[in-house]
Amino acid sequence: MTELHFIASAKGKFWLRPALRALTSLCDVSLAEIAASAFSHLFTRAGGQFSHNAGHINSPLAISTRKFCVNLQQFRFLREAARHKFSLTEAARALHTSQPGISKAIIDLEAELGVPIFARHGKRVKGLTAPGQMVLDAAERIMQDVDNLRKLARDYAGSPEGTLRVATTHTQARYVLPTVVQAFAAKYPQVRLKLLQANPPQIAAMLIHGQADIGMATESLADHHGLLSIPVYDWQHVAIIPPGHPLAKFVTTPGKLTLKDLARHPLITYEQLFAGRSKIDAAFEAAGIVPSIVLEAIDADVIKTYVQTGMGVGIMAGVAADSQRDGLIVLPCGHLFGRNVTRLAVKEGAYLRGFVYSFIETLVPGWDKRRIEEAFKA
């Protein structure tokens, strides 16, 4: 278990002694400087005076507090408990440990800090106290810094091994990423690639909680606090119909298709959180039309399947439609619902390994590492 120790000297000063000190030989940055920066948030917000000399790994940290000793496991337990809505049982299950072990670790952390972290009702944890929220915020920063150090060390050691976790929707995974994944796998055979399919809010949460390295979605990523994003491509909705459908008359003049034309038929489209559904709803609402949506689905393949049965007119992302492959008629609807932008996001402050940049470069042609870094800083 990795520990960060604060050891009292005879004069009352403290030293940071990370078990990861070997990392300093791999990079220019001082590990003590990084760890001290992370811990400074906690001490200064708690009223302590914090200063450090980053010239050496055992640099003294002058803190106007008593002896202080915590370990990263306590922070990990606290973070996981918060992620599971303060269910210590669920947190223990996620971390493959025992519930009493998590409970004791957090109680020990409270005793060490001298403040209550959890608001309790009897034996039940109801939430965080005000200082508890500050401790959680600091713990999140510390754990991110530790994760960044691990990634940085592997990059400086020249190791191409690792795992790239891409959280995305079904449409992106099925219709956009296959060629990108194929090219990436050929270039980095030792990197394990995980595609985590979810809805846009879940993708944002995975990024924030460090469960994914990259997120791709159309909704919710652009303005999400704590995320940095760049545009990947733009697209429009299309209406899909089987051959012989009354709307097939618009094949040669799709720009003449109206919302009223669509509303005369039962519709099949995405659930509320997916693929620009908000623009579909907004367009009908602005026109004062209440469409008959007979089926909602989370992915384009399901929409196409039920359109093929004659159940209704499908409205879906154009990137997922191909008239020859699907045996359906495709009518562009950009003039009705506008254009959408699929974005790629990462967590603010997260260290991106070299192969992450390579994946983004493959996904967004014409972008290189410098441009990506500048875009994330903007």
Indicate the pTM of the whole model: 0.66
- The pLDDT averaged over each successive group of 10 residues in the chain (378 residues) is 39 35 40 46 43 36 48 84 85 88 86 85 82 85 78 68 91 93 93 92 90 86 85 94 95 94 96 84 95 93 95 94 94 94 90 90 90 83
> Which stretches within 241-322 are classed as H helix?
259-263, 277-286, 300-308
Q: According to the 3-state scheme, what is the secondary structure of 47-64?
A: CCCEEECCCCCCCEEEEC
Kindly state the DSSP code that residue 251 receives in the 8-state scheme: S
Over the stretch 255-299, which tens digit does the pLDDT of each residue have?
A: 999 999 999 999 999 988 776 888 999 999 999 999 999 999 988
Domains, the chain, in order of start with CATH, read 1-159 (1.10.10.10), 160-232+346-377 (3.40.190.10), 234-340 (3.40.190.10)
Counting Cα atoms < 13 Å in the Cβ hemisphere of 81 gives: 33
| pLDDT for position 68 | 58
| pLDDT for position 221 | 81
What is the CB neighbour count within 10 angstroms for residue 374? Answer: 10
| pLDDT for position 343 | 92
What is the CB neighbour count within 10 angstroms for residue 193? Answer: 15
User: Mind giving me the DSSP string for 169-233?
Assistant: -HHIIIIISHHHHHHHHHH-TTEEEEEEE--HHHHHHHHHTTS-SEEEESSSSTT-TTEEEEEEE
